Amino acid sequence: DTGVSQNPRHKITKRGQNVTFRCDPISEHNRLYWYRQTLGQGPEFLTYFQNEAQLEKSRLLSDRFSAERPKGSFSTLEIQRTEQGDSAMYLCASSTTGELFFGEGSRLTVL
């Protein structure tokens, strides 16, 4: 499968713990995006990379959130000191200059 891959698909954690999600984009795609989707809502933009450079971060991305794309390939999204409000589906997408191709998402549940 050469699509966008996200791991883990599901993560249950206790409030205050740190979690990390990984995204492997389609290999030739230089742009990588992170979105967050809560139940009943459309995806909300968090941040994006062009190659290894993080070009924009949304105001939704608090100081507890950090994203990296160290070699311009895979990306990680870390959430520190998780809160119940962080419970959501975290979606990764990649593209060149056309449409975004999304992964299956990583669902986070914070207890």
Partner 1 sequence: AQSVAQPEDQVKVAEGNPLTVKCTYSVSGNPYLFWYVQYPNRGLQFLLKYITGDNLVKGSYGFEAEFNKSQTSFHLKKPSALVSDSALYFCAVRDDDYKLSFGAGTTVTVRA
Binding site for partner 1 (CB under 8 A): 4, 6, 31, 33, 40-45, 48, 55-56, 91, 93, 95, 97-105, 107
Cα 11-42-17 angle, rounded to 5 deg: 25
Taking the complex as a whole, how short is the minimal distance between the CB of residue 102 and partner 1, in angstroms? 4
Closest to partner 1 by CB, 19 vs 103, is 103
Closest to partner 1 by CB, 82 vs 94, is 94
Taking the complex as a whole, how short is the minimal distance between the CB of residue 56 and partner 1, in angstroms? 7
Which residue from 62, 76, 66, 64 is spatially nearest to 16, judged by alpha carbons? 64
Q: Rounded to whole angstroms, how far apart are CA atoms 85 and 81?
A: 11
Closest to partner 1 by CB, 74 vs 80, is 74
Closest to partner 1 by CB, 10 vs 81, is 10
Q: Rounded to whole angstroms, how far apart are CA atoms 16 and 98?
A: 38
Cα 50-55-58 angle, rounded to 5 deg: 125
